[in-house]
Chain A
Amino acid sequence: EIVLTQFPGTLSLSPGGRATLSCRASQSVPSRNLAWYQHKTDQAPRLLIYGASSRATGIPDRFSGSGSGTDFTLTISRLEAEDFAVYYCQQYGGSPVTFGQGTRLEIK
């Protein structure tokens, strides 16, 4: 099983700032099969990024993904109030599919 470790656990930033969220895999993720989701309380998760760097439909370009192998990054530039949420990475290249434990992005 590929274990995903996200850091930091909590990130405190101000609107307008830039967020850098990391996701490290215990072994190489095949074919860059890594996704990022945004999750707000009492809402369904929302797909942001798939294939490590492809934005999902309707996702603003202030969200970007990068990385390969074992190290992946989600960057949110120009933070807006609606961006404060919990973010999860997910690998779907190995079986079983696994999620990281999440990074909470909170308003400073």
Chain B
Amino acid sequence: QVQLVQSGAEVKKPWASVKVSCKTSGFTFLNYGITWVRQAPGQGLEWMGWISGYNGNTNFKPSLQGRLTMTTDTSTNTAYMELRSLRSDDTAVYYCARDTSDFWSGYQDYWGQGTLVTVSS
């Protein structure tokens, strides 16, 4: 069965970086993309960006460009999201999700369990 298992909760200080992993199984990683979505406390879902499992191409939300990196390791079918220069408003639950497209950002049919990232001094 399709599974996406994310790394555990993180507490970071302002200006630090965080890297969240998303280990996948149950499907052919190269045939899909991975999308990252976050939800700040009391807020809605925010699309952050997408990475192709096939060739590593990315598509980011413009406001996060410059602070955001997404990578994949096809040997372990794992995706990574790194956010730098953290601010308090980056405090959120971060989700990875299988994206149905491997060539551009599409919709997401399976989701990880979420990773809480807390930014606090």
Contacts and interface: CB of A to CB of B under 8 A. Distances in A.
Contact of A98 (B35, B47, B111): B47
Contacts of B113: 44
Interface centre among B50, B107, B111 (most CB of A within 10 A): B107
Nearest to B113: A44
A100 B43 CA distance: 11
Give the interface residue-count category, chain B: 20 to 34
Nearest to B39: A39
Contact of A92 (B62, B105, B111, B114): B105
B111 A44 contact: yes
B45 A96 contact: no
Contact of A96 (B44, B47, B106, B112): B47
B102 to A, nearest CB: 14
Interface in B65-121: 95, 97, 100, 105-109, 111-114
Contacts of A44: 95, 97, 111-114
A86 B44 CA distance: 9
Interface string A34-77: 01010100001111001000001100000000000000000000
A35 B107 contact: yes
B44 A88 contact: yes
B46 interface: yes
A95 B45 contact: no
29 contacts: A33-B107, A35-B107, A37-B45, A44-B95, A44-B97, A44-B111, A44-B114, A45-B97, A45-B111, A47-B107, A47-B108, A50-B100, A50-B109, A56-B109, A57-B109, A86-B44, A88-B44, A90-B45, A90-B107, A92-B106, A95-B59, A95-B105, A96-B59, A96-B61, A96-B105, A97-B50, A99-B44, A100-B44, A102-B45
Interface of B: 35, 37, 44-47, 50, 59-62, 95, 97, 100, 105-109, 111-114
